[in-house]
Amino acid sequence: MLFHPIARLALLQYATRALASTNYTSEALNPQLTNTIGDKGGPILYYNGSGPVPPYNETSPIPAPFTPLYPTNQTENYFYNQVAAIVANGSNYTTKCEKCLASTNVFHEAAISQPVSVVTDLLIRVWNITHFPIYAVTGESEFSGVGGLGPYWAQLFAKMNESTGDYQAWCYYQWDTCTVPPTIEIDESLYFSPKPPAASVVPKPSGKTINVLHLSDWHLDPRYDIGSEANCSQYLCCRPYSTNTKLDTGVSNASVPASRFGYLYCDSPPDLALSSFKSMPSFFNVDDISFSIFTGDIVSHDNDDQLSRAYVEYEETVTYEVFKAEMGNIPIYPTLGNHDSLPEAYNTPNNIDGKKTAGANNIFSWNYDLLSSMWERDGWITAAEANHASTHYGAYAHTTAQGLRIISINTDFWYVDNVFNFFNFTNPDQSGILKYLIKELEACEAKGQRAWIIGHVLSGYDGSNSLPNPTALFYSIVARFAPATIAGIFFGHTHEDQLQIFYDYSATSLNGTLRNTNDIDISKPLTMGFIGPSITPLTGNNAGYQLYQVDAETFEITGIQTYFANVSESLTWTSPVWQFEYDARSTYNVNGTWPATSPLNATFWTDVTYSMLTNQSLVERYNLLETKSSVVTKNCSTAACAKQKVCYIRSGSGGQGYACPYDDGPF
């Protein structure tokens, strides 16, 4: 299958042989435990969990339980025995799907009648007999220990309801047992007015441009251990405990010792992260950047039982201090990533407990408060916008000095890893985040103001990250407000340099008031999604960032340059070596026919996809650039791979991505 039972970001890949040169510089293995790069007055950054970095075993506050709806006098064993019977061979449940559905129903019954401690204990006992996939060492550490997921899952189970297909969705997307639930059709009349003719008019280029920086997936690792195993076979490499089980190596005999400047399978050590900023003046005039967008993900890819609220707060705090110190008065417009929360990816709708006060009862308010207060402190958004963000999952809209409206939304509400997306599954907007987006776009349309949408988890591409129902509604929103109002959409998350094209629907997509959002017309391109490359090399990528040239009035993208650091060479560095990688217009204008005055818009990129289908070297070029020219890039040398890639680029929703031909290669 395309995705893991729990589809966390990246599949772990690792080399079976050492890739790095043996010519190590002494600086690459300098064991000094604080940054050596960075002179702009930012905070000290630490290696190996030293200094103020919170320890691995730090525990976190847990959410208050819901009042049990139907208290009963049943014992924990009553529920445990049912699940044990369901999962046992010889029960009346024969398929994995049936076992999953029936067990989930028992958990629902327990959650609405028992104290949270009983649900947590049941999870551990059931894990003990089934070993279902978790991101922790034991069931204890996942559900009641440092990971502490039990009280969250108890809330989810209490809210689940058969009538909205929640069990099937949970059993398919989280456990890969049942078949995929159908994508809902969208009744657009419930959300917005029909598209007026003016909304299809593309504004004329102004001929003037500004520069904008796109940063994504920073993933600073303050626990990065210089000299440890960088070529490891489990999450996370470059840690004191990392080993390569095939090579029988570890910290004492590392097959690739972790350079202090980073490696392909590790998150960003301090000096790599800081070097991204340090490299910029050698490529462009930083003072000419009008503003920057940061499409999320600050925290390292630790397992659940190594993460704590203290650790997430620490990472978020030092990261925004670094960003402010490095970028000075150039504003940064951030969005919240799935790793910028605790537990990873978890966000609940504000009304989950049935009370209506915006944000007041949200168990993640501590995080939205922290982030929004830093964004306001740094002068990037106003007090009123920060207040909106603190009560609406980090979402805000801000008009830049140039007149562009930036609308930042929390895409965890369509991310498969956010367990709270598995109740009321057929509601594409349980949190209201998409209604907020619509409200903002309507205001822009009324004023003739152009908007960018920024978010972390991409809405489509291969479909493995984004749930079809909310991204179906998102697609309809884009089709309604592009190309006149939406000038661009920006994501991160995959760590790769990728594109997503949005199209208008086919005439056949509408049946009465219901829209089949998979029925799109490739001859009608509307707008672009740009997926920014990551600073972190994880997993098997190089580090990178992008500079855009943007039309100063229409805010269409007119140019893109990517810069990267080839981390497979990091042991030979005395400091990270950053290089220019490619210019999008000169790389992809393969016929030489796209006018220099025209933006790199959805029409241009659709032409590029047609070229990819007939020009294998072009699709291989795209494939290599996806990883920022990593030495471990997988081949894309067949027509089948080209077809799949083009399908992904043309997929702007989860449902569209799932419909692409899938073949796990080798291509």
Ligand X SMILES: *[C@@H]1O[C@H](CO)[C@@H](O)[C@H](O)[C@H]1NC(C)=O
Among 67, 89, 285, 523, binds ligand X (CB under 6 A): 89
CB of 41 to ligand X, least distance (A): 26
Residue with Cβ nearer ligand X (247 or 482): 482
Q: Which is nearer to ligand X, 92 or 285 (CB)?
A: 92
Closer of 163 and 329 to ligand X (Cβ): 163
Residue 333: which residues within 8 A CB-CB, separation 6 or more?
291, 292, 293, 294, 380, 381, 398, 400, 406, 408, 454
Residue 654 near residue 460 (C-beta atoms within 8 A): yes
Enumerate residues 594-613 that contact ligand X by CB under 6 A.
594, 598-599, 601-603, 607-608, 610-611
Least gap, CB of 373 to ligand X (angstroms)? 28
User: Which residue bears the tokens 């890969």?
Assistant: 176
For ligand X, the closer CB: 371 or 625: 625
Cis bond upstream, residue 483 (ω within 30): yes
CA distances from 167 to 104, 180, 375 (A): 7, 11, 38
Q: Which C-beta is closer to ligand X: that of 75 or that of 635?
A: 75
CA distance linking residue 249 with residue 243, whole number of Å: 6
Residue 63 binding ligand X, by CB under 6 A:
no
- Cβ-based burial of 7 (10 A; exposed 0-12, middle 13-18, buried ≥19): middle
Instruction: Give the 3-state secondary structure of 149-208.
Output: CHHHHHHHHHHCCHHHCHHHHHHHHCCCCCCCCCCCCEEHHHCCCCCCHHHHCCCCCCCC
Among 43, 68, 240, 359, binds ligand X (CB under 6 A): 240
Q: Does 121 bind ligand X (CB under 6 A)?
A: yes
Given a contact cutoff of 8 angstroms between Cβ atoms, the answer to whether 475 and 509 are in contact is no
Report the C-alpha dihedral over residues 552, 555, 560, 563, rounded to 10 degrees.
80
The smaller minimum CB distance to ligand X, of residues 33 and 336, is found at 33
Contact 137, 234 (CB under 8 A): no
| Sequence-ordered strand ranges (E) for 441-569 | 451-454, 486-491, 498-505, 510-511, 514-515, 520-531, 543-551, 557-565
x-marked contacts with ligand X along 196-215 as a string, rule CB under 6 A: ------x-------------
Transcribe 361-378 into DSSP letters: T-TTHHHHHHHHHHHHHT
Out of 13, 128, 189, 586, the residue judged to bind ligand X by CB under 6 A: 128
Q: Is 615 in the site for ligand X (CB under 6 A)?
A: no
* Count of residues in contact with ligand X, rule CB under 6 A: 48
The residues in 461-490 that bind ligand X, with binding defined as CB under 6 A, are 483
Q: Is 55 in the site for ligand X (CB under 6 A)?
A: yes
Q: State the binding string over 29-48 for ligand X (x if CB under 6 A, else -).
A: --x-x--------------x
- Residues numbered 527 to 566 that lie near ligand X (CB under 6 A) are none
Q: How far is the CB of 12 from ligand X (least distance, A)?
A: 22
* Least gap, CB of 158 to ligand X (angstroms): 8
Q: Are 195 and 204 in contact (CB under 8 A)?
A: no
Contact range with ligand X by CB under 6 A, out of 317-325, 468-476, 592-600, 636-644: 592-600
Contact call for residue 225 and ligand X (CB under 6 A): yes
CB–CB of 48/57 below 8 Å?
A: no
List contacts with ligand X (CB under 6 A).
21-23, 31, 33, 48, 55, 57, 71-73, 85, 87-89, 91-92, 121, 124-125, 128, 161, 163, 202, 225-227, 240, 424, 427, 483, 511-512, 525-526, 590-591, 593-594, 598-599, 601-603, 607-608, 610-611
